[in-house]
């Protein structure tokens, strides 16, 4: 088996499991160096990375590898440098090496971040597919490009994980940068970075520098604003930055996983500022939009494997709730077809797609479902598992039962036991109720999908 193909698949899986910054820092540049019987030798970039990867991710990596190659029993980590010639012992034939170079350069373009603006050049509006799910957000974005700070200020985009918020707001930044020929100073950052920088500047007494940094820009783009919930000092700092920019008619663009109205632990004065601008949501792409996204991706990647429309439609049908997941499924399908050297016909692909779906679910534990659901409803895990009949606890608890049943396929008695020992008929009742309610209650089904996004895609609040 081609080891670097295998590794690409493993990395794809790891990307879903761990947070993006961690993935980029520790795993993105790893490769497989060799295989000795049932041991794989993994190349990492530095001593530090070796320590970190072997301590933190060893188990996860092994678990994922064994999904693809059960014969692998252990892993070893070695330091390597990507630009060095491979040693004689290396497994790279020149062809393999060529391939590796290819994936390397692809990876680099994937993550080329401009240090000045913080923008990633891969997010262009030219490859953003517009459909009924995002057209309002898209047209507001276009108006902002036409006249930054003039029309919709702030522009507030919200929606679930993996639906294209980052792509859209970065796309706006990149477009303004291109058309204004650097006339505008643009700054993109995640709210998580804003929080970290606030803390750091307090610690090092550099508050003035920090204030100046963001109050002097023409376009400020802040991603995933929900991260500042409950962080008072950051909120205060953000509020002042916001006001300064707003009063000077500078453009502010914000994304969030929920509407301003639903942002818990956020000061009212900030919420009302958000609500005063243009608020637009992005929802799930419909079937046609998903097909367009997949086709667009295939064209951009110039794949050697030619997938028929029936197969593309099957991918679109099976992954409706998250574009990242949709694209991931397509790449993995192609990867697996290449490794197994099987023809890309519909029934073969269907089976592979089912495997992809099941593997994703298998990696999720009961604890994750409980933790992410509790986080979503702002309650503690203890409350969720308690026997209290309070309405605000009963619903989350029933949803957890439903997810354990529907997704992890546990039996009713097992669920009853895992949730702190209760009667299994309670579980049965809960699952029936949620399955019934979900049909007519659109907001309930959206809530459940948001929780699933967090559970399966490492979304919000990792
Ligand atoms: P979010 O920030 O909402 O979690 P992202 O912007 O990171 O989601 O999108 C996830 C992935 O899906 C990215 O690779 C992005 O390029 C892709 N994507 C999302 N929406 C679209 C779209 N409408 N057209 C093309 N690609 C999209
Ligand atoms: Mg995002």
For the chain of 462 residues, list the mean pLDDT of each consecutive stretch of 10. 84 80 77 90 80 84 88 89 42 37 39 85 92 94 95 94 95 95 92 91 90 93 92 92 95 94 86 92 93 89 82 94 91 89 93 86 84 91 94 95 90 90 92 92 83 71 40
pLDDT in tens, 111-160: 578 889 999 999 999 989 999 999 999 999 999 999 999 989 999 999 98
CB of 450 sitting under 6 A from ligand 1: no
**Centre of ligand 2 from the C-alpha of residue 255, in Å:** 8
Q: What's the gap in Å between 166 CA and the centre of ligand 2?
A: 4
* Residue 129: HSE in the Cβ half-sphere, 13 Å Cα cutoff: 21
The Cα-based distances of 388 to 312, 378, 383 in angstroms read 47, 16, 8
Which pLDDT does position 277 carry in this prediction?
93
Nearest ligand by distance to the CA of 169: 1
Pocket test for ligand 1, best of 162, 190, 298 (most atoms within 8 A of CB): 162
Ligand 1 atom closest to the Cα of residue 130 is 23
Q: Is 187 in the pocket of ligand 1 (CB under 6 A)?
A: no
CA distance 245 to 238: 11
CB 349 less than 6 A from any atom of ligand 1: no
Nearest alpha-carbon partner for 102 in 284, 304, 315? 304
Best CA proximity match to 283, nearest among 442, 159, 459? 159
CA nearest ligand 1 atom 23, residue: 129
**Exposure letters 408-434 (e unless 16+ CB within 10 A, then b):** bebebebbbebbeebeeebbbebbeeb
Q: Give 181-200 pLDDT, tens digit per residue.
A: 888 999 999 998 999 999 99
121 C-alpha to ligand 2 centroid (Å): 15
d(CA 238, CA 343): 54
H/E stretch holding 256 reads: strand 251-256
Measured distance CA(273)–CA(246) in Å, rounded? 10
What is the rounded distance in angstroms from the CA atom of residue 131 to the CA atom of residue 142? 15
Instruction: Please choose, from the candidates 124, 219, 112, the residue with its C-alpha nearest in 3D space to the C-alpha of residue 167.
Output: 124
Nearest CA to ligand 1 atom 19: 164
Q: Does residue 335's CB lie within 6 angstroms of at least one atom of ligand 1?
A: no
Atom of ligand 1 nearest to the CA of 255: 2
Regarding the beta carbon of 128 and ligand 1, being less than 6 Å apart is answered yes
13, 16, 19, 20 alpha-carbon torsion, rounded to 10°: 80
Tell me, using a 6 A CB cutoff, whether residue 163 lines ligand 1: yes
pLDDT of residue 458: 59
Which residues have C-beta within 8 Å of that of residue 164, sequence separation ≥ 6?
Answer: 128, 134, 282, 323
Mutation to probe ligand 1, out of 20, 256, 323 (largest number of atoms < 8 A from CB): 323
Residue 459 CA to chain centroid, in angstroms?
Answer: 6
pTM of the model: 0.68
Confirm if 125 and 171 have CB atoms less than 8 A apart.
yes
């Amino acid at each position: 088996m081609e080891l670097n193909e295998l590794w690409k698949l493993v990395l794809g899986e790891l990307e879903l499991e761990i947070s993006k910054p961690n993935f980029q820092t520790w795993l993105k540049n790893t490769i497989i160096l060799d295989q000795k019987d049932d041991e794989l030798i993994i190349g990492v970039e530095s001593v530090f990375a070796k320590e970190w990867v072997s301590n933190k991710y060893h188990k996860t990596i092994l678990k994922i590898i064994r999904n693809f190659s059960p014969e692998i029993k252990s892993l070893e980590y070695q330091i390597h440098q990507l630009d060095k010639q491979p040693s004689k012992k290396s497994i790279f034939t020149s062809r393999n090496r060529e391939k590796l170079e290819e994936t390397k350069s692809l990876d680099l373009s994937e993550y080329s971040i401009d240090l000045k603006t913080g923008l990633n050049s891969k997010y262009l509006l030219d490859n953003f597919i517009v459909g009924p799910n995002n057209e309002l957000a898209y047209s507001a974005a276009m108006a902002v490009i036409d006249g930054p700070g003039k029309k919709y200020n702030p522009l507030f985009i919200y929606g679930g994980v993996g639906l294209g918020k980052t792509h859209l707001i970065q796309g706006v930044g990149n477009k303004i940068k291109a058309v204004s020929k650097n006339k505008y100073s643009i700054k993109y950052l995640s709210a998580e970075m804003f929080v970290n920088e606030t803390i750091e500047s307090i610690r090092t007494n550099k508050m003035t520098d920090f204030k100046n940094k963001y109050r002097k820009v023409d376009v400020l783009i802040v991603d995933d604003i929900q991260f500042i919930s409950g962080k008072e000092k950051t909120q205060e700092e953000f509020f002042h930055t916001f006001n300064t920019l707003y009063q000077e008619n500078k453009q502010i663009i914000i994304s969030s996983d929920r509407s301003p109205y639903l942002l818990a632990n956020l000061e009212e004065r900030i919420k009302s500022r958000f609500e005063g601008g243009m608020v637009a949501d992005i929802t799930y792409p419909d079937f046609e939009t998903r097909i367009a996204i997949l086709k667009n991706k295939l064209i951009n990647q110039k794949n050697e494997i030619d997938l028929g429309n029936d197969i593309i439609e099957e991918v679109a049908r099976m992954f409706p709730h998250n574009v990242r997941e949709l694209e991931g499924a397509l790449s993995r399908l192609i990867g697996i077809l290449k490794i197994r050297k099987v023809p890309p016909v519909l029934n073969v692909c269907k089976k592979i797609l089912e495997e992809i779906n099941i593997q994703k679910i298998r990696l999720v534990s009961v604890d994750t479902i409980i933790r992410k659901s509790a986080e979503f409803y702002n309650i503690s895990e203890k409350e969720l598992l308690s026997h209290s009949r309070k309405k605000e606890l009963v619903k989350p608890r029933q949803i957890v039962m439903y997810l354990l049943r529907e997704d992890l396929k546990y039996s009713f008695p097992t669920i009853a036991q895992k949730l702190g020992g209760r009667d299994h008929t309670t579980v049965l009742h809960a699952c029936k109720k949620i399955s019934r309610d979900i049909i007519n209650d659109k907001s309930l089904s959206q809530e459940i999908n948001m929780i699933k996004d967090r559970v399966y895609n490492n979304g919000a609040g990792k």
